[in-house]
Structure 1
């Protein structure tokens, strides 16, 4: 599923969808959280907003990027079987210690609330990162060889290579292989 400004939510976990707000890390590395309003849009699309109680500030964006990059580096360490950097762990833990978003029923819907909504959303993402990085999913964190998107391989055999086989990089790779095979002179 793609949300403007071009946010993908196919990584299998909120923390890795958050990491993937930097597109094409292997080549151009385009940050999709360029301004505070982009953060507001992403939080809403991710289901982590509190109804726009307070728009994100430039400082919120800096804190967001700091957490995102700490999660990314830990994810890369997990993929490579390396230990986590203590500074990255300290950053993730610091954010996870903040009060998280709390649900409240309003009519027939659930609304998230927090006194400090951005910090609460980051706390929720940090807690998700801790669960992924330290749980059984750690061995299933993958990097797409085409676009460098980080994702959790939820396939039964655990051999997924691409961010998306149906419509994304996996499909494009299959099309390239097919064309190369059928365009070769005999």
Structure 2
């Protein structure tokens, strides 16, 4: 049986769950989506903004990564870790244009629902909606976005307080231990 990763969700935000499929082991970045089985597992576990395809192919993995990588760079740039690249924004805009939607009146007052224009393939619609989730974070909440720089993490999260440096207590503990070990006994 393939070694399928367990998925740890920090926020439950589809945009962050999408890009946090790259993690760190120590200071080395590790790709969690390498095979159709990995992507299938993630699709089963994630809170998706659209229904998932019944079957996942190698092509779907390539398309997923081709959108996820620029989304990750843009969100890292928004968190102050990297440079904004207009070509990355162009990739997300292309995904949005591949399955345009209209906001239609819902089933009652105050309700609306996004409806795709035409009949896009399920995976195309899913990628477009993930791109939309990333767009919404970049537009509405970039100042709360942060990168957990603890060893073994590297995930993006939303700060719950202005001075929050790590995504959670375990990462804060790992960062303090790492800092202590790097100081060494002579520096203590």
Which of the five TM-score ranges fits, normalised by the shorter chain?
Answer: 0.7 to 0.9
Structure 2 residue aligned with 1:125 = 130
> Aligned partners of 1:85, 1:16: CA distance in 2, in Å?
19
> 1:23: how far off?
1.0
Q: What SS is found at the alignment partner of 2:146?
A: strand
> 1:21: how far off?
0.5
TM-aligned CA distance change 1:81 to 1:46, over 3 Å: closer
TM-aligned CA distance change 1:170 to 1:82, over 3 Å: closer
> 1:58: how far off?
0.9
Structure 1 residue aligned with 2:30 = 30
- Listed one character per residue, the Cα deviations across residues 78-116 of structure 1 (whole Å, up to 9, x for unaligned) are 12287631211111111123257xxxxxxxxxxxxx852
Q: What SS is found at the alignment partner of 1:132?
A: helix
Structure 1 unaligned residues grouped into runs of 5+: 101-113
Q: How does 1:63-142 map to 2 (within 5 A)?
A: 63-80=63-80, 84-97=84-97, 98=99, 116-135=121-140, 137-142=141-146
Structure 1 residue aligned with 2:13 = 13
Moved over 4 A (4+): none
Alignment length, in residue pairs?
A: 158
- Listed one character per residue, the Cα deviations across residues 96-145 of structure 1 (whole Å, up to 9, x for unaligned) are 23257xxxxxxxxxxxxx8522222211211010000111x101111112
Structure 2 residue aligned with 1:162 = 166
> Aligned partners of 1:46, 1:53: CA distance in 2, in Å?
13
Q: What SS is found at the alignment partner of 1:30?
A: strand
Q: What SS is found at the alignment partner of 2:33?
A: coil
Q: Is the 8 A contact 2:74 2:85 kept in 1?
A: yes
TM-aligned CA distance change 1:29 to 1:173, over 3 Å: closer
- CA RMSD across the alignment: 2.9
Structure 1 residue aligned with 2:56 = 56
> Aligned partners of 1:116, 1:69: CA distance in 2, in Å?
21
> Aligned partners of 1:115, 1:96: CA distance in 2, in Å?
12
Structure 2 residue aligned with 1:150 = 156
TM-score, with normalisation over the residues of structure 1?
A: 0.72
Q: What SS is found at the alignment partner of 2:94?
A: helix
Q: Is the 8 A contact 2:146 2:157 kept in 1?
A: yes
- Listed one character per residue, the Cα deviations across residues 40-80 of structure 1 (whole Å, up to 9, x for unaligned) are 21112113373x65311111111111111111111122122
TM-aligned CA distance change 1:158 to 1:25, over 3 Å: farther
> Aligned partners of 1:99, 1:20: CA distance in 2, in Å?
25
